[in-house]
């Protein structure tokens, strides 16, 4: 949670990018029910190992709860975000868990992702909710899928800049414009003192 807050603060100040991925092990309850909680624990450790192989040293990965993981990817452009999420999904799919001699268990993950809103002060709860919504979409498409919210366009047009900043700075006036054309304070309009 501390990392999420730090990333949101950085993105709001710098306008940089950051992606939050929510990774959920598909049909994990069936793993526990069919093979036991010991194999379920092995599966979580196996997936943790695979996830670590897929992320950069600067990324933060944590178990979010149950069979869910979160990964925070700072300075992550949209093309890279989709690539890393697909790499994670494929790595898990192609590396089954060897749980007994001569036996392995195929595992898959569904992944949802959302970018932090650039230049906007948001909350970690909202960021998690948006990524979780994408995870829900991935699961509803049959699992073993990746759904990432499009990166918001934070560019500002020249017209928008003008509207945002107009009236904030007074134009520089010449000395004649700066002082009103009035008589000195010691003179009265009639010339009497």
Tell me the per-residue pLDDT of 111-156, one tens digit each, with 9 for 90 and over.
999 999 888 888 899 999 999 999 999 999 999 999 999 876 655 5
**11, part of any domain:** yes
For residue 135, tell me if it sits in a domain: yes
- Please list the active-site residues: 67
Any domain includes 172: no
In a domain? residue 187 = no
Cα distances from 63 to residues 5, 113, 147, in angstroms, run 17, 15, 19
Q: State how many domains the chain has.
A: 1
CA 72 to chain centroid, in Å, comes to 7
pLDDT of residue 94: 98
Confirm whether 140 is domain-assigned: yes
Please state whether beta strands 103-105 and 18-25 pair in parallel, antiparallel, or not at all (unpaired): unpaired
Q: What is the mean pLDDT of residues 151-165?
A: 63
First to last CA, the chain: 75
pLDDT tens, residue by residue, 16-43: 889 999 999 999 999 999 999 999 999 9
CB neighbours of residue 100 within 10 Å: 11
Residue 173 falls inside a structural domain: no
Longest dimension (CA), the chain: 115
Section 176-180 average pLDDT? 53
Give the range of the structural domain holding residue 84, as residue numbers without chain letter. Answer: 2-148
Residues 6+ apart with CB under 8 A from 86: 146
User: Is pLDDT at 85 greater than 90 in this prediction?
Assistant: yes
**Which CATH number characterizes residue 55's domain?**
3.30.70.270
């Amino acid at each position: 949670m501390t990392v999420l807050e730090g990333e949101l603060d950085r993105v709001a100040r710098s306008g940089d990018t950051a992606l939050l991925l929510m990774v959920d092990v598909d049909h994990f309850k069936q793993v526990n029910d069919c093979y036991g909680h010991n194999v379920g624990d092995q599966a979580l450790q196996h997936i943790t190992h695979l996830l670590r192989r897929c992320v950069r040293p600067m990324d933060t990965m944590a178990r979010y709860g149950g069979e869910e993981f979160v990964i925070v990817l700072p300075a992550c452009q949209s093309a890279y975000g989709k690539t890393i999420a697909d790499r994670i999904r494929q790595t898990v799919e192609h590396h089954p868990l060897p749980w007994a001699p001569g036996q392995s268990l195929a595992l898959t993950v569904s992944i949802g992702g959302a970018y932090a809103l650039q230049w906007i002060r948001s909350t970690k709860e909202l960021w998690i909710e948006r990524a979780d919504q994408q995870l829900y979409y991935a699961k509803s498409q049959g699992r073993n899928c990746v759904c990432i919210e499009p990166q918001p366009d934070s560019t500002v047009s020249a017209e928008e800049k003008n509207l945002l900043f107009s009236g904030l700075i007074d134009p520089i006036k010449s000395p004649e414009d700066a002082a009103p054309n009035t008589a000195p304070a010691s003179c009265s309009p009639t010339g009497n003192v």
